[in-house]
Chains A and B, each alone.
Chain A
């Protein structure tokens, strides 16, 4: 038996590509949730109402301080005991999104706090509404510099999708493992999955890099 057998590669390919689609879908959908919800968390944390901002700060802290796997189990296994039945796919992506939203909100916050105080003062002096201040002045300056930070979490989330296997979602690594178990042959499938993770991560990083450059140029920031 050779170390590397190409026939297994061709045989494993359909399994892995099915899994890869699930992995990419989960990453993209989950990260979309993380981006939007993370911004919402960050904005609420800036609320002048002390109770509201403290509550959200605590929620973010709680999410960041417990394991992602535990949160997935909680929603998928504990939920049904209280009559809350959520399909695996929804639960998996939802929890992934919420978990990373907590991390992303910290990144957004850093970006928001880095906008100079003078920008807020200019908005007051020009009498801009609060909403307009955020949308037209603060966020366009806060977000471009933090795109690399958000991108790190995008790649990080991608690499954590195998956790979804714990609630029976057939993402790529699980497909590779199943293939190995069926054929008593793991080498090719596991290495192929690893290779795909590597390539996707590198492509994603390069994409984030160019988005960051483009945004900074678009908004004339340094």
Chain B
């Protein structure tokens, strides 16, 4: 209705050969609005001679829910692990919330980020693992309180209230004083989700979170994720083999093959009417297994 206070008009920014901004047209009132939440820019990951990801480009908008599917060894888990800084990247830049995660600007060059920088930026990201990785010597409640107290400096009472609220949200308020060993797989995974959320991340990563669960426990975890997506402003990136869930839940599905995104699009289109031969083969193999 009224003229924005700031307007970016066809701004481009390059660092050497690396294009960081390419003519965005951004009207805003002090805050860049259409900057993607997460952006992989020509990201390459190698283990020795093996290239796992080859010049990956992927942008994820704020609050977008993206599912990553693909055969094992296609690099899909590596995408999440690089974003969580569990893996160093060999080339390119990863951006989170408008600033580089893996690099910092020095003059007009990008240099590899220090641990301090990594720590600051990855505070915006939370991750849930295939094998839960709960701390076995702490109760469900303590698992959810540890990081808010020791990292964010929250007073114990506030951290406990926050943890209790989150455990309630994942339906485990009666299990808060249980240790991981006393919980089922599905319950452990729900504690792990609560634990990640306690840090108030902007981006949540789910790495095959139902793959280690017995079939009858998968539903309870997926329903928590579904609620989360519906009720919270969260950007979600999910590696999954649950095609049904991907279809109903995500805004976009990316099919990875051999370190590249071969095909991506809205779930109905990619899962219902895939264009690429490899995608078709993968999907029919997955459906065959069901």
B282 within 8 Å of A (CB atoms)? no
Contacts of B86 in A (CB 8 A): 121, 124-125
Q: How far is the CA of A222 from the CA of B181 in the complex (A)?
A: 9
Q: Are A125 and B150 in contact (CB under 8 A)?
A: no
Contact residues of A between 158 and 213, Cβ < 8 Å to B: none
From B135, B181, B196, contact of A125 by CB (8 A): B196
Contacts of A124 in B (CB 8 A): 84-86, 122
Q: Are B150 and A128 in contact (CB under 8 A)?
A: yes
Contact residues of B between 99 and 123, Cβ < 8 Å to A: 119, 122-123
B137 to A, closest residue via Cβ: A219
Q: Write out, one digit per residue, whether chain A residues 115-141 have a CB within 8 A of any chain B CB (1) or not (0).
A: 010110110111111001000110011
Q: Are B151 and A119 in contact (CB under 8 A)?
A: no
Contacts of A119 in B (CB 8 A): 133, 135
Q: Are A128 and B147 in contact (CB under 8 A)?
A: yes
Q: Are B147 and A221 in contact (CB under 8 A)?
A: no
Q: Are A129 and B129 in contact (CB under 8 A)?
A: no
Q: Are A118 and B199 in contact (CB under 8 A)?
A: no
Q: Are B147 and A127 in contact (CB under 8 A)?
A: yes
**Chain B proximity of A78: nearest CB distance (Å):** 44
Q: Are A122 and B150 in contact (CB under 8 A)?
A: no
Q: How far is the CA of A128 from the CA of B196 in the complex (A)?
A: 12
Q: Are A220 and B133 in contact (CB under 8 A)?
A: no
**Chain B proximity of A190: nearest CB distance (Å):** 47
Contact residues of A between 83 and 131, Cβ < 8 Å to B: 116, 118-119, 121-122, 124-129
B160 within 8 Å of A (CB atoms)? no
Could you say which interface size class chain A belongs to? 20 to 34
B136 within 8 Å of A (CB atoms)? yes
A222 to B, closest residue via Cβ: B181
Given contacts A220-B179, A220-B181, contact A127 B133 (CB under 8 A): no
Q: How far is the CA of A122 from the CA of B146 in the complex (A)?
A: 11
From A122, A128, A140, A221, contact of B133 by CB (8 A): A122
B62 within 8 Å of A (CB atoms)? no
Q: Are B151 and A128 in contact (CB under 8 A)?
A: yes
Contacts of A132 in B (CB 8 A): 150-151
Contacts of A128 in B (CB 8 A): 146-147, 150-151
Q: How far is the CA of A116 from the CA of B196 in the complex (A)?
A: 19
SS of B interface (majority): loop
Contact residues of B between 123 and 157, Cβ < 8 Å to A: 123, 125-127, 129, 131-137, 146-147, 150-151
From B84, B85, B131, B196, contact of A118 by CB (8 A): B131
Q: How far is the CA of A132 from the CA of B135 in the complex (A)?
A: 13
B39 within 8 Å of A (CB atoms)? no
Q: Are B127 and A125 in contact (CB under 8 A)?
A: yes
From A118, A137, A220, contact of B129 by CB (8 A): A118
Q: How far is the CA of A137 from the CA of B133 in the complex (A)?
A: 11
B195 within 8 Å of A (CB atoms)? yes
Q: Are A127 and B181 in contact (CB under 8 A)?
A: no
A124 to B, closest residue via Cβ: B86
Q: Are B199 and A127 in contact (CB under 8 A)?
A: yes
Q: Are A220 and B137 in contact (CB under 8 A)?
A: yes
Q: How far is the CA of A128 from the CA of B147 in the complex (A)?
A: 6
Q: How far is the CA of A132 from the CA of B196 in the complex (A)?
A: 17
Contacts of A122 in B (CB 8 A): 129, 133-135
Q: How far is the CA of A54 from the CA of B266 in the complex (A)?
A: 53
Contacts of A140 in B (CB 8 A): 137
Q: Are A116 and B84 in contact (CB under 8 A)?
A: no
The 4 closest A-B pairs by CB, nearest first: A118-B133, A126-B147, A219-B137, A122-B133
* Additional pairs, 18, CB under 8 Å, beyond known A118-B129, A119-B133, A126-B195: A121-B84, A122-B129, A125-B84, A125-B125, A125-B129, A126-B147, A127-B119, A127-B122, A129-B150, A129-B151, A132-B150, A132-B151, A136-B146, A137-B146, A140-B137, A219-B136, A220-B137, A220-B180
Chain B residues near A (Cβ < 8 Å): 84-86, 119, 122-123, 125-127, 129, 131-137, 146-147, 150-151, 179-181, 195-196, 199
Q: Could you list some 15 contacts between A and B, CB below 8 A? A: A118-B132, A121-B84, A122-B134, A125-B84, A125-B126, A125-B196, A126-B196, A127-B147, A127-B151, A129-B151, A136-B146, A140-B137, A141-B136, A220-B180, A221-B137
Chain A residues near B (Cβ < 8 Å): 116, 118-119, 121-122, 124-129, 132, 136-137, 140-141, 219-222
